[in-house]
Amino acid sequence: MKAKAIPRSLSPKQTATTGPNWFNQLLWALIGVSLTIGGTFIEAHRLNLPWDWSVAGLQTQSLGIYCQVAAVLLTGCLGGKNAGIIAQIAYILIGLFWLPVFSQGGKLGYLTEPTFGYILGFIPAAGICGWLAFRYVLSLEALALSAFCGLIALHSCGILYLVGLTLLEKLQATELSLLQAIALYTVTPFPSQLMLVCGVAVLAYGVRRILFY
Per-residue pLDDT of the chain (213 residues; tens, 9 = 90+): 445 554 443 345 455 677 788 999 999 999 999 999 999 999 999 988 877 777 888 888 999 999 999 999 999 999 999 999 999 999 999 999 999 999 988 999 999 999 999 999 999 999 999 999 999 899 999 999 999 999 999 999 999 999 999 999 988 788 899 999 999 999 999 999 999 999 999 999 999 999 988
| CA angle at 158 for the pair 153 and 160, rounded to the nearest 5° | 95
Say what the pLDDT of residue 116 is.
97
Answer yes or no: are the C-beta atoms of 143 and 205 closer than 8 Å.
yes
**Distance in angstroms (rounded) separating the CA atoms of residues 133 and 127:** 10
CA of residue 28 relative to chain centroid, distance: 15
CA of residue 79 relative to chain centroid, distance: 13
- Three-state DSSP class for 197? helix
Domains defined along the chain, listed by start: 20-40+62-211 (1.10.1760.20)
pTM of the predicted model as reported, rounded to 2 decimal places: 0.90
Say what the pLDDT of residue 213 is.
85
